[in-house]
Structure 1
Amino acid sequence: MTKECIPGSRTYIASASLPDGAAFYENRVRYYTTLDMTSDEVHQLGLKEVKRIRAEMQTIIDDLGFEGSFADFLHFLRTDPQFYPKTAEELLKEAAFIAKKADAMLPKYFGKLPRTPYGIQAVPAEIAPKYTTGRYSGSSRDDEPGYYWVNTYALDKRPLYELEALTLHEAVPGHHLQISLNKELTNLPNFRRYSYISAFGEGWGLYSEYLGLEAGFYQDPYSNFGRLTYEMWRAARLVVDTGMHAKGWIDSKRWTLWPITRLCPCTMSPQR
């Protein structure tokens, strides 16, 4: 790794630096979106979504009567102790409470539910420092549950105002519901039951977050702002990925993403 791989690696991260890299990236855009879209169309969609979500965020800030700039509000969210759990147990219990509320809403919105249940666990300590905030870990056997993993490492980076959106996305009606039902379609071949198409799977997760509005979640405006930070995260990805790989947003010597500061400063919540 130190004597061969790293010294021999390329110094330019963008796909455009690869042989036929531009064509390869356009192919990947179509593959991952499952749509006949160009990288520029994805980029423009991302910019449009960033603008829409930013306006919705501002409405919440105005309704709260917060005095200060947008950056001041983000600083408030990132530093005020009221928004953060004091113990790992508190975080897990809050996630479990939200998950149980989500369980109760399912019969109203879904006519078929999986037989596989799910539990809630902390992300294993050995991987938690570099792991995402939450993740769904599906079952591998019929006699095992799936798990909604919650990262209890660095509690000052785990805001409670994002927990409703995270739980709806990772547990139910998000990944657990969709993946478990898919596995239980025994009349289909295994590649249909176990393949994960990210455009659908992550799109379903995003839809599940939004469905919480209709189901009565996000009564706390801070929680609804947390939902929007998750939406913004996805929208910013559309802009940054296409900017990096197709629009030359990279300094080849330092891997610096030059125009990132021109993007909305709310694109990253504390843990990202």
Structure 2
Amino acid sequence: MTTVTRLADELLALLHREDPLAATALGVGGHDHELPDLSESGERARKADAGHIARRASGLGGLGEQESVTRAVVVQQAMALVARVDARLVEHTVAFQLTSPAGALLHGLAQVRPVGDDAERAYLDRLAAIPAYLAVAAERHRAGAAAGRLPVAYLGCAAVASLDRYLAGPDPLRGPALSGSRVAERERLLDGVVREAFARYREVIDTELVPCGRPEEQPGLCWLPDGGAVYEALSRVHTTTERGPEDLHRTGLELIDELAAEYVEIGSRVFGATTADEVRERLRADPALRWESPEEVLSTARGTVERAEQAAAGWFRRVPAGRCAVRPVPDNEAPNVSAYYNRPALDGSRPGTYFANTYRAEEREKVTAEAVAFHEAVPGHHFQLALAQEAEGLPMLRSLADINAYVEGWALYAERLADEMGLYSGDLARLGMLAEDSLRAARLVVDTGLHARGWTRRQAVDFMLSHTLLSEVDVHVEVDRYVEWPGQALSYMVGRLEIQRLRAGAERALGTAFDLAAFHDLVLTGGPLPMTVLAEVVENWAPWSTAVPNTR
């Protein structure tokens, strides 16, 4: 094993210690009894370890092409961990399901399905550790408040409401089937120490944080101590570029203007519309474009995924070994999330799964359903994440690296690729594709608006309502997500623009010899890569004398 591979494995182990619930979801052993260590001392230790790994990797020389790529991934992932610690988001994030202490805990544990005696014992040990975990979370919130890093008050209220729903049941942690006496032990834990711990944590948010929380007029990081520097660092983590907030804000506005012409082109055929606003209003107002039932949501999702799977062979040299499952978003999560994808377990115990949101289906538009399925499932996240896990000869870190610009950039690229593949069922579905593009362009504007320009929540909501197809309920979910996951929303469009730029460069360099399936193979089979590293990989494959400029 080479030195750089050992460092990759060392860093991956550190990342699994940072998030043992994610390790369990992947099927990685050794962490099934653990919960994340949210303590400041634990974070400082991980930061020191990550910095040491990054320095050792940076000092390596004499590496081959693949080893150099691995080194770059190690350094980027290690420094991303450092940035996460320095951001101190745990101190003021309380509501969002994927980033808040309670939300991430419930989301992660609800996915666990222990099989075998050891796994069941570990699961029960995790339940028993919840009181200590939530007590540490409460202490971090108090420390953050004392330092001026307060949560937004309305999100504190949302967290309280979410915890009230959990405490009222049914408990999603009762989902796993356990054997024999283990069922009684789980019931004792859930009805006793776990329930009491969540109730105490709820009281901390309700009585200590909400009364002094930030107003809706100050939801962004720029209102917190050192918030501007934190946001710039998180922007670099999520985009893996040096593009700053002002540049990204302008790019979003330019894209929205460009999309207006596409809306009119397609909307004139469908509705006879002459402006983008008219197209969006028709799409929002037509009751025929709402779902009739949750079952219709799921059947459409499954049919769209199957259609994409059948067409993939001519566009990809490799496809995942396992098909993509389609399931509804769990009831306890559905009010606060959009559709999402969970990658397959490494041990094959769980397939890659697209979770379609059936909550209040009759109030949701369905025109974006196909684009969302192409993004979350095939040829989007399922192809990228499953193929990365199946790649041979790569350190495991290369398969599992959490690089948002690559992962989300590919999935957004997949929405447009699906149009090239002829997968959309008609112009209405293609308007849904434009609506998803508008959302990702608006994210550049709103995320930077909130965290760098000091926008109010109302400004963010109004911009999303004016420039996207989202319903009022979905806009509020989106904006609240941006508040508590700063910078992540930037990754989608930045990643897609870079993949498109690199494809254009390769097409220009290779001319008639360009093979799109081979390009996709190159992009997908090296695992997630920082955008700067992906550029080097593509340019080595299809050299061009003058790099295709970044026009954004």
TM-score normalised by the chain length of structure 1: 0.88
Q: Distance in 1 between matches of 2:465 and 2:295?
A: 34
Aligned residues: 266
Residue 410 of structure 2 is matched in structure 1 by 204
Residue 85 of structure 1 is matched in structure 2 by 291
1:267 aligns with 2:468: yes
1:122 aligns with 2:331: no
1:25 aligns with 2:231: yes
Q: Deviations over 1:216-257 (max 9, x none)?
A: 12352111111011000010010111122212323xxxx542
Q: Distance in 1 between matches of 2:328 and 2:462?
A: 34
Q: CA RMSD in A?
A: 2.3
Residue 105 of structure 1 is matched in structure 2 by 311
Q: Distance in 2 between matches of 1:219 and 1:186?
A: 36
Q: Distance in 1 between matches of 2:333 and 2:364?
A: 16
Out of 280, 289, 312, the position equivalent to 1:74 is 280
Q: Distance in 1 between matches of 2:458 and 2:357?
A: 29
Residue 257 of structure 1 is matched in structure 2 by 459
Q: Distance in 2 between matches of 1:67 and 1:104?
A: 34
Q: How does 1:46-57 map to 2 (within 5 A)?
A: 46-57=252-263
Question: Structure 1 residue 10: deviation in Å?
Answer: 3.8
Amino acid at match of 2:459: L
Residue 370 of structure 2 is matched in structure 1 by 164
Q: Distance in 1 between matches of 2:374 and 2:470?
A: 18
Q: Distance in 2 between matches of 1:146 and 1:222?
A: 28
Unaligned runs of 5+ in 1: none
Residue 503 of structure 2 is matched in structure 1 by none
1:138 aligns with 2:339: no
Indicate if the aligned counterparts of 2:335 and 2:359 stay in contact, CA closer than 8 A: yes
Residue 152 of structure 1 is matched in structure 2 by 358
Indicate if the aligned counterparts of 1:50 and 1:264 stay in contact, CA closer than 8 A: no
Residue 223 of structure 1 is matched in structure 2 by 429
Unaligned runs of 5+ in 2: 1-204, 476-552
Indicate if the aligned counterparts of 1:54 and 1:264 stay in contact, CA closer than 8 A: no
Give aligned-pair identity as a percent: 33
Q: Distance in 2 between matches of 1:176 and 1:198?
A: 15
Indicate if the aligned counterparts of 2:264 and 2:274 stay in contact, CA closer than 8 A: no
The alpha-carbon distance between structure 1 residues 147 and 234, as it changes in their structure 2 partners (threshold 3 A), is same
Question: Structure 1 residue 213: deviation in Å?
Answer: 1.2
The alpha-carbon distance between structure 1 residues 143 and 45, as it changes in their structure 2 partners (threshold 3 A), is same
Q: Distance in 2 between matches of 1:65 and 1:103?
A: 31
Q: Distance in 2 between matches of 1:169 and 1:68?
A: 29
Indicate if the aligned counterparts of 1:30 and 1:37 stay in contact, CA closer than 8 A: yes
Give secondary structure in 2 for the equivalent of 1:3: helix
Q: Distance in 2 between matches of 1:118 and 1:153?
A: 21
Q: Distance in 2 between matches of 1:232 and 1:263?
A: 9
Q: Distance in 1 between matches of 2:351 and 2:245?
A: 39
Q: Distance in 2 between matches of 1:187 and 1:67?
A: 53
The alpha-carbon distance between structure 1 residues 5 and 200, as it changes in their structure 2 partners (threshold 3 A), is same
Indicate if the aligned counterparts of 1:122 and 1:149 stay in contact, CA closer than 8 A: yes
- Bigger strand share: 1
Task: Specify the structure having the higher radius of gyration (Cα).
Answer: 2
- Bigger helix share: 2
Question: Structure 1 residue 71: deviation in Å?
Answer: 4.4
Q: Distance in 2 between matches of 1:55 and 1:15?
A: 34
Q: Distance in 2 between matches of 1:264 and 1:60?
A: 21
Q: Distance in 2 between matches of 1:150 and 1:235?
A: 22
